[in-house]
Structures are given as structure tokens and as C-alpha cells.
Chains A and B, each alone.
Chain A
Amino acid sequence: MTEYETHDFDVIIVGAGGAGLRAAIEARARGLRTALVCKSLLGKAHTVMAEGGVAAALGNVYDEDNWKVHFRDTMRGGKMLNNWRMAQLHAQESPDRVRELEDWGALFDRTRDGLILQRDFGGHRFARLAHIGDRTGLELIRTLQQKAVADGIEVFMEVKVLRLLHDADGTVSGLVGYRRPSGEFVVFTARAVVMATGGVGKSWMYTSNSWESTGDGHAMSLWAGADLIDMEAVQFHPTGMVWPLSVRGILVTEGVRGDGGVLRNSDGNRFMFDYIPPMFAAETADSEDEADKWYDDHAAGRRPPELLPRDEVARSINSEVKAGRGSPHGGVFLDIASRRTAEDIRRRLPSMYHQFKELAGVDITAEAMEVGPTCHYIMGGVRVDADSAATTVAGLFAAGEVAGGMHGANRLGGNSLSDLLVFGRRAGIGAAEFAAGRSGAPHVDEGQIADVVGAAVAPFDIDGGENPYDIHHELQATMQSLVGIIRTGSELDEALVKLDQLEERAKKVGVTGGRRYNPGWNLTTDLPAMLTVSRCTALGAINRKESRGGHTRDDFPKPDPEMGRVNFVERIPGDGQGQTGVGGTPSIGCITVTPEPIPVMPDDLKELLEEAH
């Protein structure tokens, strides 16, 4: 049997993005032995990519803003599929979470009277996003990282976690993984585990996500017996660069549109005026004149349609491209160059400007960008209790993108950074309390560890096996073409067949070289999770026979009120004792999907949604 090192902690957090760091800080503050385990170096997590800001009703720019309006915006943006309690806690607590960052050293941009400046963003009624230029995510992760280091939290970097371990009664007791630099295996025992592993985007071809976003936390939680909800709810950011190749998938922040950028088709028309849905007609400008007045004074006109929620904008772009009015490389044009002075653009969007100038030789102060929908974020995820972030498995907690419910069917920009602060903290508290109250030492099963380790190294013994990169590329092509932004029943059925075939092939994957920093091997250990979450998304998409938020069915183009009252819950019944899939994980064929009613909102919150603003 392959040897491994062992460590014991009270609370282990998997993932060191914003949610993981915030959870660790909170658990550590409660005196627990806390460790972070992350797949990359500390400070490199996908949180750094967030640009626009963190949404919090501070009311620094508009006095009228408060948590109730933020709650309303979030629920409406999520097409009412949100876990209302999460949306409520999020709106109520995010201002404190943002101010707290400042106590830890973050330096937000300022208002004239010295407070945190807030900017407009799609779907938010008031200027609500606290920001630092367009590098808010970097500021957030650096602040939390430095706080975590100052607090003496242990960090295990470049460790890939393979599987959760559990006691005889199913309570989570630890995890097993390997150190990527050495390839050596490592086992952690823990009284509580927080999943903060982020998203799943690496299963799609055009994605803003980094290589890490392989759905590890979604899959490991599912394998451990947790419920996932609404995995079909995937957000395609409307404005990812489609050209040149070096920047394909890189997002153009919504801030470009908040600051005056407009979308045009190949005829030069500002087409978003043709796509204003009835739900937002009352608050959206219906002429260019009116929209243009709004940027400087929100009382002078209604919001420009370019700032509709992300799903609306993404769908509109898709329609223009399908109608043959797209840009040369299959997107549309995002134009800020003709709308603001070069100096203005460089000042307000500095890293955006530099990024495109350097990576692609594109000068956004002089020319329009070619943009199109890009896989960006999954709203669905591990089902959690809103208050404690507890999953349906004892001892397991989840926060950030890996958790489902907060954003319903569609996430508003800026709400992810506030989500990971609010629920990262709550998961830290939840895990700390569970760990403190747990009796007896957590037990890890040698046999279970041996199985996981054995399955992980098995590909080294396969000569002339399948190339893991080929399987990954085919998975991406499958998800992009069959489970992309616009879906239809027959294609989704086809996707299930293809995923089954890919699973069979992935079982025969072969690896060359040794275990030390071997990306080919690392990829084989990512494949089981990628296949699992892909299957979950496809299954959810087949069952949700309606269009809602990020999930659009060509064959069911309208929302269905009945469907709007249920979550599609995915789980693996029977303790995963069914068929075996890739790397010793349960076969993706074992995943079931069940509609279950969403929690019913109390009347006082319902009233907030009705209020005409």
C-alpha cells in the first residue's frame, strides 16, 4: 500500500478562495485548530478574477439603498428560485462583511466624503458595488490571505483532495488527497470539513474559469451523500471576449456597461432595446436618449437595457448572433471607445485596459471589443442550511460557489463576492460549533483510504491508455455544444449518452511519467468530478422543462410557475454502493434527480418583493 502522511485538525477548509479564507478566519477566531487545503498556491484562487465589486447595501452613494432593496433585487434576479433565507441573510449581513475587510486592511475606492465608493451594476437598483478599480477580487483575496497568515492559520498548498472520509455512521471524519509537487498522499482527520472549492466551468470549452474549477467540492459532497440542487442553473457571462484567442474566455466586466459601454450588432444598432422583458420594462429606458441621461443622474432617466440581469443580456446576444447580425468571430460588439474619452476609460477601467492591450493588442479606448456568452458561474450546488451552511451530511459544510440556493436561477454581478464573505463566515461558525460539540475522535477507515489511493495511482499501470487531455477536450466540446447557453431536450439526451461514453473511456485513461508535479496525472484525478458535475447539469437541464434565469430551453422558452416552485435535487442513493465509475468513484449513472418544493417565503418578505420602487 502506498504510504501517506497524516494531519489532524478540528476544522479543515477545502479551497482557499474568498469563501474558504473567510471560513478559516472565523473558525480560527473561535479557537479551533484550523487548516486550509488548496489545489493551487495561496492567493491564486479564482476569486482574484472578480472585477466589478462586492455588492452590499452600504447606502454610501444612495441613501435610499438598504438590505430590503438588495434582497428584492437578488430574488428577482434569481427568478425567485433562490433560497429566500440565504438571500435575506446575504442582503442583511454583506455591509458588515465589507466594512470588516476595511478593518483588515482593504483599501476600497472612496466617495467624496471619504467613505467606500459604490458603483452601478446589472440588476442592482442602486449603485451598490464597493470596488477597487476593476480588481476587487484581488483586493478581497489579498486582504483575507494576509489576515489568515497573520492569524497563524495553517495552509496546505497545492494539495488535490480526492475524497471525503467518514465515520461508521456517515459523519464526515476527514479527507484524502495528494501533494501535487511531490505526488505524495496525505490524509487529514477533522471534526468538521468546509467545502469551499468554487465552480465547475472547466467542463465547458468557452469559460472564464481557471483549470481549478473542476467541481471537486460538488462531486465529493455528492459522493459523500450530500444533496445538490439546481445544477442546471449555470450562468453564462454575457460579455466574454471571443477574439483574439489569447483572451478568449476573459470577461469584460459589467463595469464597462455600468460606465457607459453599449452593445451593438454588425449593423451598428444598440440592439438591447429590442429585448427588454416585461418584468423589467417599467424600470428600463426605452430610448437611447433616456438611457444616456441615466449614467450621470439616475433620476433623469431609467436604466439602460445593457444593464439588465446577465441572463437577459446573454440571451439577447445569442439571438443577435443566431440572426446573423454578429461580429466576425461569433460575438457582438461592446463599444465604450466611442462613448467615453480615452483618459476616462483608462482611469475607470485600468486593468481592463492593460489586459487587452497587452494580451491581445486590443486598445479598448480606440476600438470595440468582440464579446459573447462565456461559461462563468454555477448557481446550483450543494444544498445547505442557510444559517449554518451545513449540508445534508453531518460534519460537512459548504460555502461560496460550491453551495447552491443563494442565487436561484441567476446570480447578479457583485453578489458572489458578498456571498462568499457572508456564507464563508457562517460556514466557519457552523463548522466550528459542530467540531466543538463533536464527541470522540473522528475515525478514518484504512480500507477506504487504500481504495482511494489505489484508484488514483491505477492509471500509471495502463500502457497506451486513453489520453486524459483528449477526454477533457471532448467533455468540453460536449458540454459546450449540447449543454450550453441554449438547450433543447434532444441534445440533452444526446449529452447523457456522450457522458456515459466518456466515463467508460475515462476508466481506461493512462498516465506517463511519475507522480511529481505531473499535470497529465493531475488531470486524470480531476476527471471523475468533471464528469459527475457535467452529468448533474445535464440531468437537471433535462428535468427543468422551462426557461428560467441561466437555464434556457429552446423547447420550453417560457418560465413555468409550477417548475418555479421546485428545486431539482440530485443525489446518489444507497451510500454509493451502486456501479463504480472513474477512479473508484460512484458511476455517474447512479445519480438520481427529484423535484422537491423550495422553502416557502414568509409573508413579510413577500411584501418586500411587491413594493413598487
Chain B
Amino acid sequence: MAEDQAATSGNGDVTMRLWRGDDTGGEFFDYQMPAQEGEVVLDVIHRVQATQAPDLACRWNCKAGKCGSCSAEINGRPALMCMTRMDTLPPGEPVTVAPMRAFPILRDLVTDVSYNYEVAKRIPPFSPREKTADEVEAGGYRMQQIDVERSQEFRKCIECYLCQDVCHVIRDHEENKTAYAGPRFFARSAELEMHPLDVNDRRELLQVEQGLGKCNITKCCTEVCPEHIKITDNAIIPLKERVVDASYDPVAWLGRKIRNRTKKTPAEASATAPATGPAAVQPGDAVRGIPAPSRNGAAVAEPVSVSAADPVSVSDPVSVSDHGAAQEGPAATPGGDPPAE
């Protein structure tokens, strides 16, 4: 196809270095494209499809940063292709686009994200308190803006799963997926826990089945969130505190008993969890059960001029925890920032 094209980038051309392959392996291919003003990475990918590689697989929908479909690793950094402006990437250098590493490859830049949909099914759903007489009269619940805002932050989530992709607990440890929900779903649980109306209690579930304790607060998830949700500070840490309170603090336990809280017990909460549906529910059934291919391995042994000396290591796309540590106040300008300032 295009493997013989040189990775040079002059005269207004841009080199797109795209990972192509499937669950059996693959490699990077270079595509030379004329540069155009004002484009994002996804615009250029579309031009590659239209002119050079009509079967190049790439998942996308809105091209406006609202649906969270076009997640990938751009120059080694997890990002939305539609939200990454070409003019923020280093000029004159190839633009490397690889699929998310934490999920099994379907084809080219598209991964099987069904793990996330399976986790979503296991979270006990929203369960509101009864309406008061006044609320029945008024025709709806009464909540104050300040009280809904905490959960609203998490409901901004567009489910791009970049936070899941970057989370070390599952990125490098496929085996953890069976007992770990990941940042997206910690945020979902936090949203429900902080919802002014919800009465379910998910704390035991979070600790036992969703592996909240495995998160070691490196803030990588917050760093890559395109919606700038402070996942670590506002969701995970408060959840950890609540779980710890529930497990170990006898005073808090007693307090809850005395105050006779309306939250359900963990057992009750679990009982209201939806039945896990049959297998038909997920995309990519055909490749289910195939372990995530290692893009560090033989499959990429001969990438097109991506050497080990490459400053942006493609085989280890993210080291954002260092980046995060260096940048105190992680949500100041996270996620959307280009890798090179």
C-alpha cells in the first residue's frame, strides 16, 4: 500500500503514520497528505480514507468532541482525533496515530471497547427517593443548583474511555479487568453517590467488585479527560474516603445507624443491579475472548522508521503520570493540551 513512501515532510505535506492491522498483528504505515489550514487529525484521516486507503478503519461520529468515539493515541498521547488540531503538533514531524492500547484491536485504529459496556451493566442503577407531598404538588423533585452541580460534573462524561485507556491498572494488566471498573465508572459511581435523589449505597461494591483500592491516584485519567472532569480529585478520592469510612470507622458507622440514613445497604444495592444481559449485547462479538494484542511485541517489530530512539515512544504511548506530577493542579489545562507546548 503506502509502505514505500518516505517519511519526509516538506513542501506543505504532512506525514500521517497510522497503525494498521488486526488482532493478529500489524504495523505503522506512512501516508503523505497535502497540509490544509485549520484541520484536526480526524480531518486528515478522512482525507487518507478518501484518497489512499478506503478501508482504513477509524471509529468516529460527531467530529465535534461531543460523542467520544474517535479516541486514539496521537504521538503517544491518548486523545480524541477530532479534538487534536494539526497545528498543535510538532511541524515537520510525522503524526503518529495508534489505537487505544488498553483494549483489544478490532481493526486498524478501532478497538473493542465492550469491557466498558460490561462494567456499566454491573453498576447498581439510579434509585431515587420518594417525592414529598410538596414535590408531587409541584410536579417534580426540588433540588438546589448547588446540589446538582457535583453530579453534573461527572455527567459531562462523553464515554471516550481515554481515562480507561490510560489507567495503568488495566493498561498493562489485562487480568485486572475482571475486578476493576476503571476511572470512567468510578466517576459514574461518584455521580450516583452524590446524586441528591439517589438512595442506593455502592460502597461495598466499589471496594470488593470494582477494585477501587487498586487505583493509586496517579491522576493520569484526569490528565487525559477531554471534558476536564477532575476524576481523581472529585470522584475517586471522595469515593475512597467514603469506602474507608464505611469499612473502618466505627464512629461513622454508629453515626449512620443513629441517623438512620436512607441509603440502602450494600446487599440491597446489589440486589437492584440489572441482570447482566446475554452475549448479544456487545459489539465485536466475533473477536471476544481474544486477548489484547501486544503492540509492543512482534507485531510492531518492523514499524516504518519508528526507532527505539524516537522521542515519542509509540510502544509506550503514555507517561502522563510524570507529566501530571510535574504539573500541580492537574485540572488547570489537562487533556486537551498538545504534547509539545
Contact = CB atoms under 8 A, between A and B. Distances in A.
Nearest to A183: B286
Nearest to A247: B64
A240 B10 CA distance: 34
Contact of B139 (A43, A95, A245, A358): A95
Given A40-B59, A105-B195, 18 more contacts: A41-B69, A104-B126, A105-B126, A114-B142, A115-B140, A135-B156, A138-B156, A146-B125, A147-B125, A157-B282, A158-B284, A351-B156, A468-B54, A516-B107, A517-B110, A518-B107, A519-B56, A519-B57
Interface in B54-105: 54-69, 82-83, 85, 87
Contact of A519 (B54, B66, B275): B54
B128 A103 contact: yes
6 contacts: A49-B64, A95-B139, A105-B198, A142-B155, A182-B286, A210-B61
A245 B43 contact: yes
Interface in B275-300: 275, 277-278, 280-287
B106 A246 contact: no
A109 B38 contact: no
Given A105-B126, A182-B286, A184-B286, A132 B155 contact: yes
Q: Name the residue among A43, A154, A511 with the largest chain B CB count within 10 angstroms.
A: A43
A179 interface: yes
A149 B38 contact: no
B241 interface: no
Contact of B39 (A149, A211, A245, A361): A245
Contacts of A420: none
Interface in B29-60: 36-40, 43, 49-51, 54-60
Interface of B: 22, 36-40, 43, 49-51, 54-69, 82-83, 85, 87, 106-108, 110, 112-113, 117, 120-121, 125-126, 128, 138-145, 148, 151-152, 155-159, 192, 195, 197-198, 228, 274-275, 277-278, 280-287, 336
A110 B147 CA distance: 10
A42 B43 contact: no
A569 to B, nearest CB: 32
Contacts of B85: 246, 358-361
Nearest to B60: A211
Contacts of A135: 66, 156
B128 A149 contact: no
B55 A519 contact: yes
A109 to B, nearest CB: 6
Contacts, number: 209
B54 A99 contact: no
A358 B83 contact: yes
A105 B58 contact: no
Contact of A521 (B38, B39, B55, B120): B55
Contacts of B128: 103, 105
A508 interface: no
A138 B58 contact: no
Contact of B61 (A40, A114, A138, A512): A40
A48 interface: yes
A273 interface: no
Contacts of B192: 105
Contacts of A469: 49-51, 54
Interface of A: 7, 35, 40-46, 48-49, 58, 95, 99, 102-105, 107-110, 113-117, 132-133, 135, 138-139, 142, 146-147, 149-158, 179-182, 184, 210-212, 243-247, 249-250, 351, 354-355, 358-361, 467-470, 473, 511-514, 516-521
Contacts of B59: 40-41
Given A149-B121, A358-B83, A243 B56 contact: no
Given A246-B38, A359-B64, A182 B285 contact: yes
B155 A513 contact: no
A291 B64 CA distance: 32
Given A44-B69, A244-B37, A513-B54, A519 B283 contact: no
Nearest to A469: B50
A545 B143 CA distance: 51
Given A519-B58, A520-B49, A210 B67 contact: yes
Given A102-B141, A359-B64, A154 B281 contact: yes
A245 B58 contact: no
B43 A113 contact: no
Q: Name the residue among B85, B117, B156 with the largest chain A CB count within 10 angstroms.
A: B156
A146 B65 contact: no
Given A40-B69, A105-B128, A107-B151, A152 B286 contact: no
Contacts of B142: 113-115
A157 B283 contact: yes
A7 B285 CA distance: 14
B148 A99 contact: no
Given A246-B85, A361-B85, A152 B159 contact: no
A42 B283 CA distance: 10
A179 B57 CA distance: 14
B195 A107 contact: yes
B55 A513 contact: yes
Contacts of B336: 358
B40 A246 contact: yes
A41 B69 CA distance: 8
Contacts of B40: 246, 359
A520 B280 contact: no
A151 B273 CA distance: 10
A346 to B, nearest CB: 12
Contacts of A44: 61-62, 67-69
A519 B125 contact: no
B54 A467 contact: yes
A103 B144 CA distance: 16
Contacts of B152: 107, 132-133
Nearest to B158: A138
Nearest to B46: A469
Contacts of B197: 105
Given A102-B140, A104-B126, A513-B55, A152 B69 contact: no
Contacts of A518: 54-55, 57, 107
A244 B285 contact: no
A41 B145 CA distance: 32
A48 B282 contact: no
Contact of A41 (B141, B198, B283): B283
Contacts of A184: 286
Nearest to B63: A210
Contact of A156 (B49, B151, B275, B280): B280
Given A7-B280, A146-B126, A110 B54 contact: no
A286 B331 CA distance: 46
Contacts of B287: 181-182
Contacts of B138: 115
B113 A41 contact: yes
B311 to A, nearest CB: 24
A-B CB proximity, top 6 nearest: A513-B55, A520-B54, A114-B142, A244-B38, A105-B126, A150-B125
Contacts of A139: 155
A181 B106 contact: yes
Contacts of A243: 38
Given A116-B140, A152-B275, A355 B281 contact: no
Given A99-B139, A142-B155, A181-B286, A246 B60 contact: no
A115 B131 CA distance: 13
A517 B283 CA distance: 11
A180 B87 CA distance: 32
Contacts of A114: 141-144
Nearest to A521: B55
Given A115-B138, A156-B281, A157-B283, A250 B64 contact: yes
Nearest to A106: B155
Contacts of A147: 125
A502 to B, nearest CB: 16
